[in-house]
Amino acid sequence: MFGTVKNEGGMLFSGNNFKVVKKVLKSGEQIPSHNHESDNIVLSVLKGKMEMYLNDTEKHVLVPGDILNFDGVNFIKGTALEDSEFNVTLVKK
């Protein structure tokens, strides 16, 4: 077998320079403010609707198909506006 398929929440894949995590949130659940200083972040919404803030000031409302990219030195926090699923890819700088 050459590929691996996963669809559950949590850590999906990791390597020397990356991690892929799937988050599954119910409507109203929140992601507390945090950062990942040593990574670049790619956040891809799969289902639902997410309201995300970077550094408490930059607001993004994300729906399926939206991809948010940012330097992990920035702080992110968010709220699921609907039941939501999204992948977070962390790539070492």
Residue 88 inside a domain? The answer is yes
Using one digit for the tens of pLDDT, what is the confidence trace for 54-78?
A: 999 999 999 999 999 999 999 999 9
For the record, the structure tokens of 36 come out as 């990942």
Using one digit for the tens of pLDDT, what is the confidence trace for 22-41?
A: 999 999 999 999 999 999 99
Residue 14 inside a domain? The answer is no
Distance CA 60, CA 77 (A): 11
* pTM above threshold 0.95: no
Residues written for the chain: 93
Residue 4 inside a domain? The answer is no
Domains of the chain: total: 1
Residue 47's pLDDT band (cuts 50, 70, 90): very high
For 79, the domain range is 19-92
DSSP track, 64-81: TT-EEEEETTS-EEEEES
Do 23 and 17 contact (CB within 8 A), yes or no? Answer: no
Residue 7 inside a domain? The answer is no
Which CATH number belongs to the domain containing residue 23 in this structure? 2.60.120.10
- Average pLDDT over all residues of the chain: 97
What is the pLDDT, as a whole number, of residue 50? 98
